[in-house]
Structure 1
């Protein structure tokens, strides 16, 4: 072989090796990053055009992919959009590749995207079989913990009280596991509008929802923190019993009013708004039944700021614990409070703030004998053929209180439903434990917030509920109260669960 031919042969060999190296680099080392690049329109088109797994409540799909006659082949459809919008979220062309929604919130469509799209490693065998059989690859299914009857009761009850323009949320938990049985936030929205194949319509709908002053995209169940008001007295009572200051049969401080230490005048005056709280010492049950501010403000000061914070944090305050929907706002209990601030915190005011999920966890922990379970929404994940791949195991978050303290609190809360402010949650033939709450917004031009927490049956709890009413158009300011507005909603949810 003469030299020119040999040189050309070596050059061609080097070019071939370079080409092979580049193909290997692109197909193996950079495949994932190129596939995930939002500028890769072919990858987005392919992802958006394949059948996506279903989101299930019970055995019914609340989100599924239906065949479409346009270029994208499959249309994502939500069968009960308004009731489940804040749980499912939506899936459209704009988040098909990245899994991120336009509002920067991650709901089940996003947090479970790998599984629903079929990219999850647990579906490797399924993908391999599809490849070898030349079948179209499909995504896996996600089964949620939600109880459809409880979810419907929560949505219908909240909608009836608030109307279409009201603001509020409901969370129901299974105390012994932490399963989320219901989660509703109002106002709501239709995710079908955001899943349309008409991208101009999607953009217009997204802009409309983003600009809505009612913030319908906000999941108030986990993302809105408000003063919990008198529902927080349950935590104050837990701290007092747990630290040996009182027991359920003891007399506690009462009185029609109480001047906070180091204060003068109306700004530091705590009163009971006319409720029967005695003149000096009253039974603990009476204080809880009548939601006596004077009792629980004094009680919090006796417990002390540090121990109050420790008790609140044992129930989940100042923590992140919910992973199936993101982001989660942390319920807040302040540090380094003086006595007046501690007294205010004891009645759920000052700088105390909670989400409905957090207050549901408080009563669920009491219902579960003092053990707070980590809440979860995804029950199991399945193959495209609905075979179970993995299931969530219940996990204890903390031992918030002793079983003895939980038992005493249960008795006090049952008495509050039977004889006190929480009576709207009464269920014939069933013992219900509950507590009302009304919290000042801090703005004299805005009405107060109404809360209600409960669990039932008290002797063998199946469900714990928290109801938060942030804004109730059409309801007179003087009628905004946790028992009046939240009690019937909680009752309907509890009945939906325990009467099956």
Structure 2
């Protein structure tokens, strides 16, 4: 009898052990895949049982994303995006099986599952109320965002606009064109969502991409601000008035291909650093870059954040000046060509760093998070990202950039009664193809409150597009919108 009981007990223990092992395997190993399995409708329904917090701007005054009660017990809550395309890439969308933008990056706050909201979550469970999330307020300047989108969209060209508050790092504008209506991607119908997504995904203009942070491009002559910063920082006796070589063309020892100026223009043979930047002299900055050497140029670029991973909280693609490939390549890199690749966000950080006396502040989108009861859960705290230059070097760069807008290639960015600092960029891509058009700027130059980067992608602005004619007017309008507030 005892032997039989022992065998039965051992068998029960073995079965229990196997059961626990299976539960552990399903939960710890297969749990994530099971939750995302298309056949698992439970997780699908659960997504629509939560009254997600709203996404707002301007301290909650402008609604960018909201939840509506459908009255359907199966799909209780659904998202709506009342502001449309101008805010799509920042806000993102909340779909049956995915979430992008702030909807994805701050999802734990929005759905109430963040540890900061554990007490509220417990109360909802005890009182049998629908789970309710926190609201996320963004730092965006609504008027500037709308103007940036309108200006860029009206050109019919692909591109991006980023505006920062150089004093804090707050992202005031982040626009990508083309954009799309996120509402069809937020309905509680997988088939309809998949059809809407497939249509966008097949669009040759790739509207799903956020050109402000997802892709990198040759920055053209806007990069000359970084080359200038390296040159000035390398020797404290240098200033905007330092004379530099500025020949009509320059051939370096490792190539027979000369570096020439835009449209073959002459820079006069010699020029002050200020004048070289004002007329955007390629040969001058190519010679400066080669004289500094690759390591010093890369070090200066790194001080502006180039090469550092960044989250705002959305992930930003890494920028890079490219590898060391010899003198001719370095000369091209020094004028923003060759393998030099930047996001518009990165170039906005460059402008903001110069504006803020050489200190780059970490960019951020989220202004604050408000609990379901309206209490403040967390608020942005400006954070220093890097010391790009000394205040003295930043002052010289500002003087040079002011001259670019006053009498150089950036006059289209002028604002009545306000001193604007800026730099144009026209980045060549391939023979016969249109150039990238860039403009970076900040204003007022003596007390900056906004720094901007405008980018217009190649192939969409005509073969003679330049940053001064295509991008600068957009930057002007964005700066004006911010400064009006």
Using the size of structure 2 for normalisation, the TM-score is 0.91
Tell whether 2:115 aligns with 1:125. Answer: no
Measure how far apart 1:113 and its partner are.
Answer: 1.0
Deviations along 1:91-128, one digit per CA (max 9) or x if unpaired, are 12122xxxxx5xxxx42111111111111111111112
Match of 1:167? 158
Match in the other structure for 2:396: 408
Is residue 375 from structure 1 mapped to residue 377 from structure 2 by the alignment? no
Distance in 2 separating the partners of 1:54 and 1:469: 32
Matched residue, 2:469: 484
Does the residue aligned with 1:221 lie in a helix, a strand or coil? coil
Aligned to 2:249: 257
1:260-287 deviations in Å (ceiling 9; x for gaps): 33322xx323224254521x22122211
Residue in structure 2 matched with residue 98 of structure 1 by the alignment: none
Deviations 1:398-425 (A, max 9, x none): 1111000000000110011111111101
Instruction: Choose the corresponding residue for 1:238, options 229, 236, 242.
Output: 229
Q: What residue number does 1:455 align with?
A: 442
- Counterpart contact for 2:322–2:341, Cα < 8 Å: no
Paired residues of 2:117 and 2:371 also in contact (CA < 8 A): yes
Matches of 2:49 and 2:32 in 1, distance apart?
18
Residue aligning to 2:344: 356
d(CA) in 2 for partners of 1:300, 1:193: 50
Report the alpha carbon displacement of residue 177 of structure 1 after superposing the two structures with TM. Answer: 1.2
Residues 216-269 of structure 1, C-alpha deviation per residue, up to 9 Å, x if partnerless?
1111101111110000000011010000173112222123222233322xx323
Structure 1 CA distance for aligned equivalents of residues 276 and 82 of structure 2: 47
The aligned counterpart of 1:388 is 376
Inter-CA distance 462–32: structure 2 relative to 1 (3 Å threshold): farther
> C-alpha offsets along residues 173-222 of structure 1, whole Å, 9 cap, x if unaligned?
11111111100011111111111223211111111111111111111101
1:254 and 1:294 in contact (8 A); partners too: yes
Counterparts in 2 of 1:317 and 1:211: CA distance versus 1, 3 Å: same
Instruction: Quote the Cα distance in structure 1 between the aligned partners of 2:95 and 2:78.
Output: 9
User: CA offsets, 1:47-96, max 9 Å, x none?
Assistant: 2222111111111220111111433021110111201111111112122x
Distance in 1 (CA, whole Å) between partners of 2:394 and 2:34 is 50
Map of 1:47 onto structure 2: 47
Contact 1:276 1:290 in 2 (8 A): no
| TM-score normalised per structure 1 | 0.88
Q: Which runs of 5+ in 1 are unaligned?
A: 96-100
1:192 aligns with 2:204: no
CA distance in 2, matches of 1:307, 1:182: 32
Counterparts in 2 of 1:471 and 1:274: CA distance versus 1, 3 Å: closer
Question: Does residue 268 of the first structure (1) align with residue 270 of the second (2)?
Answer: no
Q: Distance in 1 between matches of 2:484 and 2:32?
A: 53
Runs ≥4 in structure 1, deviation > 3 angstroms? 29-36
RMSD: 2.6
Q: Paired residue for 1:68?
A: 70
Matched residue SS, 2:441? strand
Task: Tell me what 2:283 maps to.
Answer: 294
Q: CA deviation at 1:323?
A: 4.0
CA distance in 1, matches of 2:242, 2:414: 25
Measured in 2, the distance between the counterparts of 1:125 and 1:44 equals 25
Deviation string 1:346-368 (CA, Å, 9 cap, x unpaired) is: 11111111010010001100001
**Offset of residue 31 of structure 1:** 13
Report if the CA contact (8 A) 1:447-1:477 is conserved: yes
CA distance in 2: counterparts of 1:482 and 1:152, whole angstroms:
21
**Secondary structure, counterpart of 2:310 in structure 1:** coil
The answer to whether the aligner puts 1:215 opposite 2:200 as a matched pair is no
CA distance in 1, matches of 2:262, 2:48: 58
> Contact (CA 8 Å) 1:305, 1:337: kept in 2 or not?
no
Question: Is 1:92 equivalent to 2:95 in the alignment?
Answer: yes
Per-residue CA deviations over 1:135-179 (Å, capped at 9, x if unaligned) read 222011111111101111211111122x2xx21111111111111
Q: Does 1:157 align with 2:151?
A: yes
Contact 1:258–1:271 (Cα < 8 Å) also in 2: no
| Aligned equivalents of 1:175, 1:210: Cα separation in 2 | 35
- What is the distance in 2 between the residues matched to 1:461 and 1:32? 53
Which range is displaced more, 45-54 or 76-85?
A: 45-54
SS at match of 2:451: strand
Count of aligned positions: 471
Q: How far apart in 1 are the matches of 2:255 and 2:459?
A: 34
Unaligned runs of 5+ in 2: none
Cα distance in 2 between the residues matched to 1:405 and 1:483:
24
For 1:303 and 1:311, how far apart are their aligned partners in 2?
Answer: 11
Please give the per-residue CA displacement for 1:6-45, whole angstroms capped at 9, x wherever unaligned: x7xx98xx89x969x97xx78xx87994797224422331
